[in-house]
Structure 1
Amino acid sequence: MAGCTADPGPAAKPGSARSQATSQGTPGALAVGEVRTSANVKLLTNVRPAKPFDGEESWGTDLAFQGDHVFVGNYEGFTIYDIRDPAKPVTVSQVVCPGGQNDISVSGDLLFLSIDEPRSDESCASEEAPGQPDEGWEGIRIFDIKNRAKPRYVSSVATACGSHTHTTIPSDDGKTVYLYVSSPGPIPDSKSCAPPHETISIVEVPVAEPTSAKVVAEPMVFEKGHKRDEMVAGGCHDITAYPEKDLAAAACFGDGVLLDIADPVRPKVLQQVSDEKNFSLWHSATFSDDASKIVFTDELGGGGTATCDSATPVTKGGNAIYDLKDGKLTLRSYFKMPREQGKGENCVAHNASLIPVEGKDIMVQAWYQGGVSIWDFTDSGKPKEIGFFERGPLKEGDSFGGSWSAYYYNGQIYSSDITHGLDVIDIDDPLTDPAKRVRMEDFNVQTQRSYGK
């Protein structure tokens, strides 16, 4: 199947196998606002952003889950929805707390936000502070969400080069949550984000006393030289931890890094891989449930450009599937969402999660204006798409939007659309139906748990 090969080959043309591979909806380009799905997928509902989260750059970002609630990040703050009836989400609360990009996670009664832009101070009343990071505050904000109707801001921690994303790692005794903080850098002449910035920040949060949260380590995450040029930053973008396996996979802009996290404060580099021919911006990673595979994504163009077109090879701007055996990673194949997108539609591989089907490796993934793709990589050498949801372009010409994150949680797919808000999507397929029986109490996609027991 075109789009699922380790050989880049010639670029696909409109009407080729790549653009028609699994498109079961109306053929041809979509009109502005038009929705298309595969036969096994349907949109249950869409919840549009409410004021003040409906501004021109009030972009929806990541998702986290706990019980019957979904937490949706936004550049203006975050919203909590009750999803006891997935087809009718109810807004529980909305917290205005601006900061890019408000990457979000939850652990117990605590909620964490990543801020990766200098602010005038750490408070929710802060304003943008253009200039060097030394001239403002950026890092982690911490909220108490015991009362979900009235979340309470309790603390903050400044981190080197800010916090683009973070990963939660709860301690075995439940008394501490560690945050692996990822951020781009360095910035010349900056004291807080000085070259070479080949580290991550580890924040220790005492659950009973989150006001005492602090940076406890800044470990190096590269065993050999880190690729860096004008298109690739230092540091890491996303880190996915699999505490049960004592492993983490870090996507570090120019490299993929496998880590031993048996001691979460002292991670050890097991392997560092690169793919200079095909991968531009190593963005994120996902383990298979048995940790025998890792999917790394390439956010070619940083999410703001059109890379799902005939001019871009299928090996670029998509996913690379690696086998993991005896502690070593081996590249097996590439996968890219197979539907041709317009030149004005930003489209590239983005945030994803597994669909919990025992014995299978199935992923749901956001592709910005490419929509949501459901694909099977059980055979790591022959990945294939099995379902999809997508909208037409936002408008004629260039625009920024689409699905930022698409995750499976307790029977449905939840997608955070940058401008359209929260989508709840259902998939009805023999391959994925067993997942409907799996129930999770909470879910932060960058902290994996085994479902195959």
Structure 2
Amino acid sequence: MANRDVLTPDYARNMRILGHCDQGGRGDGVQVMVSGGYAYVGHLFSNGWSVIDVRDPRKPTFVKHYPQPGATWSQHLQTHGDLLLVVNMKDMLRDDGVETGDYYKGSIGDKIDTSGGDQSYSAGMRVYDIKDRANPVEIGFMPLEGLGLHRIWYTGGQWAYVSALPPGFTDDIFIIVDMSDPTNPKPVSKLWIPGMNAEAGEVPDWDPKHRYALHHAIIKGDLACGAWRDGGLTTMDVSDRHNPKMLSHVNFSPPFAGGTHNALALPDRNLLVVVEEAVFDDLEDGVKRNWVFDITDPANPISISTLPIPDDFDYATKGGQFGPHNIHENRPESFQSSDIIFVTYQNAGLRVYDIRDPFRPKEIAALVPPAPETLMDHRPDRPKIVDTTDVFVDENGLIYITDFNAGLYILEMDEGLLD
């Protein structure tokens, strides 16, 4: 499962690989959560999600795979306490009617039928009991008409927050879910950018080649910060979960490249880190950036800097996708810092930034895993290039990263860098 090649990075600075797992032969990984010594990884190409024993970070061991019904994506998931929440969504890469590039160009609601007639996939959210971390048991399912859920934010308690495409909308919107009874979650409210509710007669005022869709929102207290792909950034007041309100909508695409993916508030410093996602090879979709905003007034976010772009190699011509994808989201039950930021950078691996001076962020560590030996990605003409996808940092500072093809890596940074 691990060998010298797998454990030797292509590039490393102030960081090293401790262990690797091929995830039971399903090397494709997207979101990763770690709880009680076990990692839970959602898959993109091989259906379902998997459990991995990471109690020994040098010998992570595949435990079990949980397939999902039909052509269903479950690439995103959340853990808190003894609960695991998993998305169910139409697998857009197995739909003969939607080309890969079309998924990111324009509204998905214009390309597929979301009326509920397609029975080839499951749409909604599954809830698992993980008291026995190695053996999750499904205890609930929330069906949701339409395309299904894309991503979830859940940190315990009564409320979960999801992005989903219900019938009548042009693309994914913000939905709040009541988790009072985990066996029977219920959506209670919705919020969207004006122009997305086609059923109500709203008409988009943006270029149809752009995709206005909520990737997801991160919630800190009563403030939700949403990343809307080409639709930019919103801040939202969720103090009344049954009636969320838009505080601001800021979009910097154009002139910049768009693809807003994560929006992580750091409330103790009145800062917000916004990550964009690169989705095409060789910078076809432009240079994607990581932004730092001042949110002293959440209704008026102000951009104050960007994080440095990796320059230790010519990643723009390396092949594959060069640009950010995900950020460690400072969840409860994980490492939390308002000074140190972890960002996956696809063909440039993982990047770690110090933002103590938010006007002059600097990179302090990096690691680029080796190229995968085989591809799980079934799309034609894909290069064998590393694609570091998601990152989770546990309470002890161990770093877990996934790849579209190369499995799960566990990393550690040099002593003192996380202080």
For Structure 1 versus Structure 2, the TM-score category normalised by the shorter chain is 0.7 to 0.9
Larger CA deviation: 362-371 vs 132-141: 132-141
Aligned to 1:402: 387
Q: SS state of the match for residue 35, structure 1?
A: coil
| CA distance in structure 1 between the partners assigned to 2:293 and 2:186 by the alignment | 35
Counterpart pick for 1:337 among 305, 310, 315: 310
Partner amino acid for 1:205?
M
Superposed displacement of residue 326, structure 1: 2.9
Q: Residue 191 of structure 2: SS of its match in structure 1?
A: coil
Q: Are the equivalent residues in 1 in contact too, given 2:141–2:184 (CA < 8 A)?
A: no
Partner of 2:14: 40
- Alignment of 1:217 onto 2:189: yes
Q: Is the 8 A contact 2:261 2:274 kept in 1?
A: yes
Q: Where does residue 142 of structure 2 map in the other structure?
A: 157
> For residues 136 and 84 of structure 2, what CA distance do their matches in structure 1 show?
9
Q: What residue ranges of structure 2 are gaps of 5+ in the alignment?
A: 98-111, 197-202, 374-380
Alpha-carbon displacement from aligned partner over 1:91-117 (angstroms, at most 9, x marks no partner):
343322263242011133321111221
Which amino acid is 1:180 matched to? Answer: Y
AA of the residue aligned to 1:66: S
Provide, for residues 364-407 of structure 1, a one-character-per-residue CA deviation record: whole Å limited to 9, x for no partner: 11112221111112222211111111035558973575211022
Report the AA paired with residue 288 of structure 1. L
The superposition leaves residues 197-243 of structure 1 with CA deviations (integer Å, 9 ceiling, x where unpaired) of 57422222234xx3322222223356999764344323301211112
Sort the Cα spacing of 1:267 and 1:195 in 2 relative to 1 into closer, same or farther, 3 A.
Answer: closer
Check conservation: 2:190, 2:244, Cα contact below 8 A: no
8 A Cα contact 2:22 2:408, kept in partner = yes
1:107 aligned onto 2:80: yes
Is 1:282 matched with 2:268?
no
1:391 equivalenced with 2:369 (yes/no):
yes
User: Matches of 1:289 and 1:139 in 2, distance apart?
Assistant: 31
CA contact (8 A) 1:114 1:139 kept: yes
In structure 2, how many angstroms separate the alpha carbons of the residues matched to 1:269 and 1:291?
Answer: 22
Tell me the number of residue pairs that the alignment of Structure 1 and Structure 2 aligns: 367
Query: Aligned partners of 2:382 and 2:191: how far apart in 1?
Result: 44
**CA–CA distance in structure 1, aligned partners of residues 86 and 240 of structure 2:** 24
The equivalent residue for 2:104 is none
RMSD of aligned residue pairs (Cα, Å): 3.2
* Letter paired with 2:190: E
What's the offset of the Cα at 1:289?
5.7
Counterpart in 2 of 1:194? 168
Listed as ranges, the matches of 1:17-36 within 5 Å are 35-36=9-10
- Change in Cα spacing, 1:203 to 1:320, as seen in structure 2 (3 Å) is same
Candidates 402, 405, 416, aligned match of 1:416: 402
**Cα deviation code 1:316-371 (max 9, x no counterpart):** 3121111111333110122233342135221221111268576x611111112221
Q: CA offset at residue 268 of structure 1?
A: 1.9
Mapped to 2, the partners of 1:352 and 1:117 lie a distance apart of 24
Secondary structure at the counterpart of residue 237 of structure 1: strand
Alpha carbons of structure 1 residues 223 and 291: separation in structure 2 relative to 1, 3 Å: farther
Structure 2: distance between partners of 1:204 and 1:179 = 7
Would the aligned equivalents of 2:9 and 2:17 in 1 still touch at CA under 8 Å? no
Q: CA contact under 8 A between 2:275 and 2:327: conserved in structure 1? A: no
Letter aligned with residue 179 of structure 1: A
3-state DSSP class of the match of 2:225? Answer: strand
Question: Hey, what's the Cα distance between the residues in 2 that align with 1:95 and 1:198?
Answer: 25
CA distance in 1, matches of 2:362, 2:205: 31
Name the SS for the 2:123 alignment partner: strand
Distance in 2 (alpha carbons) for counterparts of 1:91 and 1:392:
20
Using the TM superposition, name which of 378-387 and 396-405 deviates more: 396-405
Q: Secondary structure at the match of 2:24?
A: coil
Compared CA separation, residues 155 and 334, structure 1 to 2 (3 A): same
SS of 2:75 mapped into structure 1 = strand
Q: List aligned pairs for 1:69-84, cutoff 5 A.
A: 69-75=38-44, 76-84=47-55
Of 402-411 and 341-350, more deviation after overlay is shown by: 341-350
C-alpha contact 2:234 2:250 (8 A) present in aligned 1: yes
Gaps of 5+ in 1: 1-30, 120-126, 186-191, 435-453
Identify the range of structure 1 (395-404 vs 41-50) with the bigger mean alpha-carbon deviation: 395-404
1:252 aligned partner = 228
> Cα–Cα, structure 1 residues 194 and 234, in superposed 2: closer, same or farther, change >3 Å?
farther
Query: Sequence identity of aligned pairs in percent?
Result: 23
The equivalent residue for 1:374 is 352
Corresponding position of 2:179: 205
Partner of residue 93, structure 1: 64
Give 1:124-163 correspondences, 5 Å limit: 132-133=113-114, 134=116, 135-136=118-119, 137-159=122-144, 160-163=146-149
Q: Distance in 2 between matches of 1:397 and 1:153?
A: 35
The residue number in structure 1 matching 2:281 is 305
Q: Structure 1 pair 83/391, CA: closer, same or farther in 2 (3 Å)?
A: closer
Separation in 1 of the partners of 2:382 and 2:85?
36
Q: Residues 289-368 of structure 1: matches in 2 within 5 Å?
A: 290-300=268-278, 302=279, 304-307=280-283, 316-327=287-298, 328-335=300-307, 336-339=309-312, 340-341=314-315, 342-353=317-328, 361-368=339-346
Matching residue's letter, 1:216:
V
Q: Is the 8 Å Cα contact of residues 89 and 148 (structure 2) preserved in structure 1?
A: yes
Paired AA for residue 112 in structure 1: L
